[in-house]
Amino acid sequence: MNYHLLAIPGGERVRVQVWLDDGEPVPSIVPVWPTADWHEREAWDLMGIRAEGHPNLTRILMDDDWEGHPLRKDYPIGGEPVRFSGEE
């Protein structure tokens, strides 16, 4: 998990990088950086990265009843085969 932070007045940049094992949560930074709320919810929804201590860790892009996290490498890719016109 990477956070790229920029201080607008001074232009200082900070990158915080945390290495996680599969299923391991990362501490939420919402109390320090409130706009991380949306970013942590997106990371949970699409990648399955849980932010421990997040005030409202719910789905933000996918439907509430969606199973899995679609940007993970282990997410099953499939669906219905495409049928083109002219095929029998």
For the stretch 31-61, pLDDT in tens is: 988 988 999 999 999 999 999 999 999 999 9
Q: Which residue has the higher pLDDT, 81 or 68?
A: 68
Residue 69 Cα distances to 19, 23, 34, 35, 65, angstroms: 19, 12, 24, 22, 12
The whole model's pTM is what?
Answer: 0.74
Domain residue ranges in the chain: 21-71
